[in-house]
Structure 1
Amino acid sequence: MSVVLTFLVNTIFNLIVGLIVAKFLGPAEYGKFALAIAVMAFGQVVAFEWIRLCGVRFYSERARTETPKVRSTLDAAFLAAALLFVPFALALAFLGPEFSLPRKLVALAFAASIANGLFDFHTALVRARFDDRLYVRLIVSKNILAVLMTAGGAWATGSATVAVIAGMASLIGSMLLWHPGLKDRDATLAQAEPRLVRHYAGYAAPIVAAIVLYQLIPLANRDLVARWYGFAETGRFALAYDLGLRAVQAVGSALDVLLFQIAVRAHDSHGEETAKAQVAQNIAIVFAILAPASVGLWIVLPSVEALIVPQAFRGPFAHFLSLMLPGLFCYGMTQFAIHPIFQIKQKTLPLVTAALAACLADPLFILVLPRGDDASALAISQSLALAVGMFVLIGFAQANAPQWPRVRDLALTVLGCAGMAGLGVPLRALPPGFVVMLAQIALCGSLYAVIVALFDVAGLRGAFVKKVNPILEQLRRKGGIFKLFLPL
């Protein structure tokens, strides 16, 4: 539970730092910063994400003590990937095709890919061995440094270049602070096994290819926005997408931290059929939480914009994010609900085909939709492309005869979200503000909570009761004032 809470806190801090940076850089300079971050994320996924994924799947506390060659192989793979990535990145930055982003900033973004990849790799290993205390320390120190350095650098200089350098420094600083705890004393590079590298790469390569293809969509669209409408519009477009994506990933990733590991354990302990049933239950849970979260974000969006979005981004922020939200929801379902069907079976090639379909759909939608005075058509195209990817992957999953969640759970979730939207529409017409946002959350959230409580949607009521009962029992045993309120 502490890992989930820390993950959510980390996401909140990322949002805060992103908003501060956007405020002090302004739309045009933030457009450069956002495009650089997109390049950084692309480079990280291409070069290093497969190693992180393998760490999550194959590394554990047991592997750390009994088979140190697992960690040795992962470390050797990261070192080799970094050494190969550096000349490739420099060649692409200074000799490759011309980007709308300055070449020096492209090279700096690729350097940040290594730092970010190394940090995510280490945090994945710490999570895999359930070292909650070290994980919390890494994340907290990184966030403190990010506020001081990244946000501080943006405030002091107003430079996207300084903000990227400061962000990279916050990651490295956090790892240096806790470096002794990140090492495995029994793992040395000499123990690395090429056979394991081939096995790991075969598992992770299709997943990484799919992620790369999905990242190409917003990356290419940001470049088009910069070319057609300028960096200021890119900044507004990027801030809406980045905050929306982080919100969806905060919910999905927090669930995935627990649910995927449960499915893996079910597969290892009880076989494929039990794992299929668990994945089906996981899909129902992700849908039952991610769908109302997305609808809720749309309901409170005017108030969120008025309260936290910098003045220079208001208006376009809410407009673009409203257009992007359906696609972001589809992307979240793809990553955290449908992907595990293939990951558990270790047959991940269909992920690439679905992502390729999304990539091909995006430019087709851009060509078909009329171009207006702003980047709305690109936001709609992006959203539709992500929906295409989800439905294509569902088709591939159906061909593999998976076990799907109960129609009852899906239908009740849709009914609850429709009720939230119906109640939220008149609430959105109220003047935005903190009190209005609290009222929207209370009323719409309560409506959905009642439906979950009455019908035990996706087993959420049962899971909640199972979690709360031991706490209530402990309070009963302690006695005191609780005896007045809790039944014996």
Structure 2
Amino acid sequence: MLLRHSALYTLARGLPGLINFAALAVYTRLLAPDEYGRYALVIAAVGLANAVLFQWLNLGLLRYLARYRDCKPRFLSTLAAGYLMVVLLSAMVGLVLWGIWPEPEMRSLIGLGILFLWAQALFDAHLQMTASQLTPQRYGLLAITKALTSLTLGSILAWWGFGATGVLWGLTGGLILAIVIWAREEWRHLSPYYVDKELMGQLISYGLPLTATFALTFVVSSSDRLLLGWLQGSHSAGLYAVGYDLPHQILGVLMMVVHLAAYPLAVHALEQEGWGAAQVQLKKNAIGLLCIALPATVGLILLAPNIAQVVLGIEFRKAAVALSFWIAMASFLAGIKAYYFDLAFQLGQRTLAQVWIALVAATINLILNLWLIPKLGIMGAAYGTACAYLSALVLSVILGRRYFKLPIPGYESLKIIVATLAMGLALWPLLSLKGFTGLGVQILVGMVSYGLFVLVFNIAGSRTLLFNRLFLERRII
């Protein structure tokens, strides 16, 4: 089931990921670094607000919807009540910020940022619902509609000269359209009479510690560009944002594909079959995550110069190549932590412990950024981010075992490392290739060489599965 759901989520997240990748290429050609910097700063601020205000609802939905599937209207009505309370709170905060913000250009973006925040939170809730219900097809329709509409609207408005404001309107429009088309039916049975105070308390007790964790984690992932904007201006923030987003988006999509398929299966196994079944499923999840993430990280590092040349506008390429190793490594560490080792706290329902880990990582990141950015600029921000994620991963591995012991597939991991090294050796003679055709050749060689070694080593039973499928087809014929 994991392989089937991963394949479906590869389409569901992969196609939007390609569209978002195309958006990065388009926006770096339509926006100057300072305009892209303002856009990136708004995205970072909205992301932080989303993590602080709304994530506890989405996390509670993902964790408990399977448990309350027989009384879904009560569960969703309670969830909607929580969403509306947070919308009112964020509206008041937005009005205060609009009244006191000194810079006119950024003040004009506050109202749009609040609208974008509400749409993003509601869209995220629908994505979590489809993932929890094991419906990757609906997930894909939501994500593809949003990504394609956002790119189309944002590109047109940016080309017409609306700059960062146009791109943000495009993103907001894409979110709203996707919700209206594909998700409105989910809420037709809502009623204020179904709101359950006890259930709301359960969502709060589970989600608020995770909200603090997500907010602090967001400090690690986005405070660097906010500090760059403060200390060195929107130009540096724009260069860093592109250099960060290029590898982070690719790795994030690939690792999230596995997580979206794997986590609901682990929760279902734990809730329906017990601890032993969950351990079996979690081992499969770990192998699948590493099998995708490690070769992708190495490939991004090796091919960074050609990827930047093909994808990015000329003003952004040099910075992106310089950042590629550190951001790719930081993204890999962050994904392994968030999508596997943090599950110990969530499955063990001890989410408060994650707050302390995130607090340590955020503190390290802030201290290093304040120290290194004035000296090293964007590279200082990258060093601080990588150190923060490494410390968070180590703490998550050590502390998580107290609450829920996760299996570590050591032998399979070793085989994945060897297969990745073989891929790197196959790519090495091709690193001088340039341009779109050269990048296509590099990617093809990397995928084929890695895939062959996956089969040779029978990683995750791939060779056995392939031979069984071929044998079955021959019998049918």
TM-score, L = length of structure 1: 0.89
Report 1:220-235 matches (<5 A): 220-235=223-238
Structure 2's unaligned 5+ residue stretches are: none
Alignment partner, residue 88 of structure 1? 93
**CA deviation map 1:19-45 (0-9, x unaligned):** 312321121101100111111111111
Is it true that 1:120 corresponds to 2:124 in the alignment? yes
Is it true that 1:456 corresponds to 2:458 in the alignment? yes
Secondary structure in structure 1 of the residue aligned to 2:408: coil
Is it true that 1:383 corresponds to 2:389 in the alignment? no
**CA deviation map 1:343-401 (0-9, x unaligned):** 11111122212111111111333366585464111111111111111111111123446
TM-score, L = length of structure 2: 0.90
Alignment partner, residue 41 of structure 1? 47
Of 325-334 and 391-400, more deviation after overlay is shown by 391-400
**CA deviation map 1:396-420 (0-9, x unaligned):** 1234461432321122222223333
- Deviation, structure 1 residue 124: 2.2
Report 1:275-294 matches (<5 A): 275-294=278-297
* Letter of the structure 1 residue corresponding to residue 359 of structure 2: L
Of 86-95 and 234-243, more deviation after overlay is shown by 86-95
Is it true that 1:68 corresponds to 2:73 in the alignment? yes
Q: In structure 1, what is the Cα distance between the partners aligned to 2:411 and 2:141? A: 42
Secondary structure in structure 1 of the residue aligned to 2:434: coil
With over 3 angstroms needed to count, the CA separation of the structure-2 counterparts of 1:20 and 1:38, relative to structure 1, is same
Alignment partner, residue 17 of structure 2? 11
Alignment partner, residue 32 of structure 1? 38
Of 216-225 and 322-331, more deviation after overlay is shown by 216-225
Report 1:101-180 matches (<5 A): 102-178=106-182, 180=184
Confirm or deny: 8 A CA contact 2:51 2:211 kept in the other structure.
yes
Is it true that 1:265 corresponds to 2:265 in the alignment? no
Confirm or deny: 8 A CA contact 2:40 2:241 kept in the other structure.
yes
Alignment partner, residue 237 of structure 1? 240
**CA deviation map 1:260-285 (0-9, x unaligned):** 11111211222123313422332232
Q: In structure 1, what is the Cα distance between the partners aligned to 2:383 and 2:184? A: 47
Confirm or deny: 8 A CA contact 2:333 2:389 kept in the other structure.
yes
Of 395-404 and 33-42, more deviation after overlay is shown by 395-404
- Deviation, structure 1 residue 473: 4.1
Confirm or deny: 8 A CA contact 2:78 2:194 kept in the other structure.
yes
Q: In structure 1, what is the Cα distance between the partners aligned to 2:185 and 2:131? A: 13
Confirm or deny: 8 A CA contact 1:210 1:351 kept in the other structure.
yes
With over 3 angstroms needed to count, the CA separation of the structure-2 counterparts of 1:439 and 1:166, relative to structure 1, is closer
Of 320-329 and 26-35, more deviation after overlay is shown by 320-329
Alignment partner, residue 58 of structure 1? 64
Alignment partner, residue 196 of structure 1? 199
Secondary structure in structure 2 of the residue aligned to 1:68: helix
Alignment partner, residue 485 of structure 1? none
Alignment partner, residue 483 of structure 1? none
Confirm or deny: 8 A CA contact 1:21 1:155 kept in the other structure.
no
With over 3 angstroms needed to count, the CA separation of the structure-2 counterparts of 1:43 and 1:366, relative to structure 1, is closer
With over 3 angstroms needed to count, the CA separation of the structure-2 counterparts of 1:272 and 1:305, relative to structure 1, is same
Confirm or deny: 8 A CA contact 1:29 1:160 kept in the other structure.
yes
RMSD: 2.6
With over 3 angstroms needed to count, the CA separation of the structure-2 counterparts of 1:183 and 1:465, relative to structure 1, is farther
- Deviation, structure 1 residue 465: 5.7
2:337 to 334, 339, 343: 334
Of 192-201 and 108-117, more deviation after overlay is shown by 108-117
**Moved runs in structure 1, 4+ residues, more than 6 A?**
98-101
Is it true that 1:302 corresponds to 2:308 in the alignment? no
* Letter of the structure 1 residue corresponding to residue 41 of structure 2: L
- Deviation, structure 1 residue 464: 5.5
- Deviation, structure 1 residue 475: 7.7
Q: In structure 1, what is the Cα distance between the partners aligned to 2:99 and 2:61? A: 33
Confirm or deny: 8 A CA contact 1:150 1:164 kept in the other structure.
yes
Alignment partner, residue 77 of structure 1? 82
Alignment partner, residue 448 of structure 2? 446
Of 239-248 and 380-389, more deviation after overlay is shown by 239-248
Confirm or deny: 8 A CA contact 1:25 1:158 kept in the other structure.
no
With over 3 angstroms needed to count, the CA separation of the structure-2 counterparts of 1:137 and 1:287, relative to structure 1, is closer
* Letter of the structure 1 residue corresponding to residue 83 of structure 2: F
- Deviation, structure 1 residue 130: 4.0
Kindly, what percent of the aligned residue pairs are identical? 22
What is the count of residue pairs matched by the alignment? 471
Confirm or deny: 8 A CA contact 2:348 2:403 kept in the other structure.
no
With over 3 angstroms needed to count, the CA separation of the structure-2 counterparts of 1:395 and 1:379, relative to structure 1, is same
